[in-house]
Amino acid sequence: MVRKAFRSSYLALILAFLYAPIAIMIINSFNASKSRARWGGFTFDWYVRLFQRSDIIQALYVTITVAVIATVVATVVGTLAAIGIHAMKHGYADALLNISYLPMTTPDIVTGVSLMLMFVFIRMPLGYGTMLLAHITFDTPYVLFSVMPKLKQMNLNLYEAALDLGCTPMKAVRKVILPQIMPGVVTGALLSFTMSLDDFVISYFTSLTDKNLSMIVYSAARKGIEPTIYALSTLMFLAVLILLLIVNKRSALEKVS
């Protein structure tokens, strides 16, 4: 009984430590007072003012367009890469998979600095284009490793049967392989969009002109946080939370099926 109470208390303490700051941020986004220490009443004013700021609207445009384009490109490249690696001989496939893990396991600051140095070396101006290329780089492995398990579960005899019946290799991929791996493709795309939507470190090092929402929040924190930033952070948190819930739900359904 004592052990169970201790485990429950320990879990509650950990959850409070993790989520209390987020809860305080959300509460302050509805606080009419600019003071964080005093409750001035419930209001939506900070959310209204949020969308009246031109820098926020511009950052929202950059964030959404970069996330969408990077997700589309990473989904196509990651899916084709997964199909290609799966068709390779075992030794080459293992080597490529280990290399593909690097963008996911390398610290963001190392990836960001490395990409920045590469863009500077090739004399590519740091801006929207370099940020987009950086997001495609770290998004692609999430698609690849979401699609790969589906390929391993697939019956290869179906692909070979399609070729025997007169399909070209590309048509067989489109008609036979893609329908079977589509759940992994969608899950990888959702993960890519989620990772791109709230990325800060890599975006910070790869763009000097265009800013996404995470960079706006960081700049505001250095100057002194305004209540509109609480509202912005709350919306970003809810967007990422919803996307992660969708991904987890899809993953659970795929395991059941």
Full DSSP string of 182-229: HHHHHHHHHHHHHHHHT--HHHHHH-SS---HHHHHHHHHHH---HHH
Contact by Cβ (8 Å): 192, 75 = yes
Are the C-beta atoms of 251 and 187 separated by less than 8 Å?
yes
Question: Under a CB-based contact definition with an 8 Å cutoff, are residues 116 and 54 in contact?
Answer: no
The answer to whether the CB of 167 falls within 8 A of the CB of 104 is no
> Which residues make Cβ contacts (< 8 Å) with residue 175, sequence separation at least 6?
162, 167
Q: What per-residue confidence (pLDDT) applies to 74?
A: 95
pLDDT tens, residue by residue, 62-116? 999 999 999 999 999 999 999 888 887 777 778 888 888 888 888 889 999 999 9
Domain ranges of the chain: 43-251
pLDDT at 255: 62
Contact 138, 202 (CB under 8 A): yes
Q: 31 has which bridge partners? A: 42
The stretches in the chain having pLDDT less than 50 are none
Residues contacting 178, CB < 8 A, separation 6+: 79, 185
User: Is 43-251 a domain of CATH 1.10.3720.10?
Assistant: yes
pLDDT of 67 reads 92
In the prediction, which pLDDT does 139 show? 92
- Which pLDDT score is estimated for 37? 66
The Cα 246–Cα 159 span in angstroms is 30
Write the burial class of residue 194 (CB in 10 Å: 0-12 exposed, 13-18 middle, 19+ buried): buried
* C-alpha pair distances (Å), 244 with each of 77, 138, 178: 22, 17, 24
Please tell me the predicted confidence (pLDDT) of residue 1.
Answer: 66
The pTM of this model reads 0.81
Nearest by Cα to 62 from 216, 237, 244, 171: 216
